[in-house]
Amino acid sequence: MFDQQDKYHKILLEVLGNPVTIHEVKLVAAGNLNQAIFLSTGGGDFFLKTNYSEHPDIFEKEALALEFLKPKTSLHIPSVYGFGKLDDLNYLITEWIPNSRKTPDFWKDLGYGLAQLHMVSAKNFGMDHDNYISHLPQINTPKKKWSEFFISFRLEPMLTKAFYDGLITKAFMERFRGIYDKLPSIFPNEIPSLLHGDLWSGNVMGSGSGGPALIDPAIYFGQREVDLAFSKLFGGFESGFYDAYHDVFPLEPGFDDRVRLYNLYPLLVHLNLFGQSYLSPIEKTVRLLL
């Protein structure tokens, strides 16, 4: 524990510029890559995220995303205090948000806030820099057409990674590519929207006031239905969220039929992160499209 405490002291000194006393250290979560730690100190409470990723800029990109989102939505986005590298340990220090009981209007407010976020637009799909979803690189080279962006920088990189890692066969990879010609006629014609990019229930929490907060973004400008489809992948949000969103920013007809298509991307991400248990729903969607 002493060695870990020493590391935390050094990280806090780098970020805050002055030494602080650590009163409490609590492991909040340990995922497939990151450790999440609560630090209570003489200078306040902090959220520390650490990993040993081969990508030294992974927390820099997360910090950029949080800072980019913060002024663009009424939803609570944690403040960033600093990021860096201590020896071989990557770290990110942000505001500690106590996960409070949700207010009665939580899901409605989340719907309104996401619609507000999606009204922020850009000329092209993509971003001026690449980033990550979990610890997998996410290419954001700008494109004028959503279908070209989605195929070239979302589906194809994850598909080829799954093939080279032995998670899918060459025959399935070629069959999957058979859906690409169908996509341009399926997507609605909409301008790019600012996306959270990884919108599932684990990345939505009650802030200290009980209102909605968003964490762990993988932002880019994309087709806004991506966020809404992702929100349905692991059980969905409460109906008040979708009703509020539609009140502010109605979707084009046929969204429910497009959900499976958008979710090919997060399913491919999960296939690459966690293995072949995520292959079956991908295969089913491909069969339906061909």
Catalytic residues, which ones? 198
Between the alpha carbon of residue 201 and those of residues 164, 244, 254, the distances in Å are 30, 17, 24
For residue 179, the tally of other CB atoms under 10 A from its CB is 19
Q: Are 27 and 37 in contact (CB under 8 A)?
A: yes
Q: Which residues are within 8 A (CB) of 20 and not within 5 positions of it... i.e. 6 or more apart?
A: 9, 12, 13, 41, 42, 43
Two structure tokens written together for 85:
């590298």
> CB under 8 Å to 185, separation ≥6 — which residues?
none
Angle between helix 279-289 and helix 255-262 axes, rounded to 10 deg: 130
Closest C-alpha among 188, 191, 199, 233 to residue 113? 199
3-state secondary structure of 107: helix
Cα–Cα distance for residue pair 250/247, rounded to 1 Å: 6
